[in-house]
Amino acid sequence: MELRIDGRAALITGGSKGLGLAIARAFAQAGGAVAIVARNAAQLAEAEAAIRAAAPAAKVAAIAADISTAEGCEAAYAGAVQALGQVDILVNNAGTSQRGPFLEVTDALWQNDLDLKLFAAIRLARLAWPGMQARRWGRIVNVLNTGAKAPPAEGAPTAVTRAAGMALTKVQANEGAKHGILVNALLVGLIDSDQHRRRHAASKTNESYEEWLGKLGASLPMGRYGKAEEFAATALFLCSEGGGYIAGTAINVDGGRSPVV
Ligand SMILES: NC(=O)c1ccc[n+]([C@@H]2O[C@H](COP(=O)([O-])OP(=O)(O)OC[C@H]3O[C@@H](n4cnc5c(N)ncnc54)[C@H](OP(=O)(O)O)[C@@H]3O)[C@@H](O)[C@H]2O)c1
């Protein structure tokens, strides 16, 4: 079965790198129009060009905005509507991994994590929802991590924010289903992305990136890290008609890493 989203317009936060870029590329190749959002304009322009090269017929827009603020979310949504006409699919993907010993997590870190990863998802869904409801078709994918179901020691603030994101997904799914708005979460384990490339560079190891990430992946049940394309394929499935009977789930995309289903 070929997964298609022809005629759908998608807003993808964090679409300039890593998983978000892979999702935007997959959506564009599947017939969708895509608006990618991130802060760094130069990286957005590179990503826009890469998506156009992979899907020359697709409508692609790049919007520079910081979605950790209400104004940034409004600018991101307005930019997407201006470029694409509407938003049928919202992928709340932008995020960072902030974690440490509980006593070292300051109020500022908590707030920053909640603003970027929880409030952005709330605000953007609030903006996109009325149009989806009027058209009786919408998809929202909240990208979380496996800590949402299994919060580890030193997992704050991210695991707490992600657990809230899972609850948000269920609340929205329960309200949206009758309007044709299907809301689901994807829980990331260890997937190749720019985030890990930055960590590899910061580690100052002599190992190549592939060796370094390969060792981390070797401990997982599947014995390897995931590819961004594999993650994007799951997001595409949820947003295609093939995912038309799925609402309120939180799917681990983690090679079996999560200790809970
Ligand atoms: N890859 C993994 O193994 C993994 C594991 C667990 C969870 N995740 C989650 O999966 C999502 C994607 O991760 P990734 O690995 O692809 O990360 P990444 O390679 O670091 O990409 C993050 C993206 O988010 C954007 N972004 C960050 N802060 C933003 C802000 N304030 N406003 C707008 N855009 C912002 C970045 O662009 P700018 O910096 O230019 O803004 C970039 O496009 C994140 O939510 C992450 O926490 C990933």
pLDDT digits (tens, 9 = 90+) for 11-22: 999 999 999 999
Domain boundaries, the chain: 9-191+226-252
Nearest atom of ligand 1 to the alpha carbon of 226: 3
Residue 179: both structure tokens together: 């309007």
| Confidence (pLDDT) at 181 | 98
pLDDT confidence bin for 94, thresholds 50/70/90:
very high
The DSSP code sequence of the chain is -----TT-EEEEETTTSHHHHHHHHHHHHTT-EEEEEES-HHHHHHHHHHHHHH-TTS-EEEEE--TTSHHHHHHHHHHHHHHHS--SEEEE------EE-GGG--HHHHHHHHIIIIIHHHHHHHHHHHHHHHHT-EEEEEEEEGGGTSPPTT-EEHHHHHHHHHHHHHHHHHHHGGGTEEEEEEEE-SB-SHHHHHHHHHHT-SS-HHHHHHHHHHTSTTSSPBPHHHHHHHHHHHHSGGGTT--S-EEEESTT--S--
Burial class (CB in 10 A: 0-12, 13-18, 19+), 7: exposed
Q: What percent of the chain has pLDDT over 70?
A: 100
- Give dist(CA 55, CA 32) in Å, integer: 10
**pLDDT tens string 33-92:** 999 999 999 999 999 999 999 999 999 999 999 999 999 999 999 999 999 999 999 999
- Does the beta carbon of 116 sit less than 6 angstroms from any atom of ligand 1? yes
**pLDDT tens string 161-191:** 999 999 999 999 999 999 999 999 999 999 9
- Does the beta carbon of 74 sit less than 6 angstroms from any atom of ligand 1? no
- Does the beta carbon of 95 sit less than 6 angstroms from any atom of ligand 1? yes
| Confidence (pLDDT) at 249 | 98
Segment 237-250 mean pLDDT: 98
Q: Looking at domain 9-191+226-252, which of 3.40.50.9100, 3.40.50.10440, 3.40.50.720, 3.40.50.300 is its CATH number?
A: 3.40.50.720
pLDDT confidence bin for 137, thresholds 50/70/90:
very high
pLDDT of 100 above 90: yes
Nearest atom of ligand 1 to the alpha carbon of 197: 19
pLDDT confidence bin for 129, thresholds 50/70/90:
very high
pLDDT of 1 above 90: no
Average pLDDT, the chain: 98
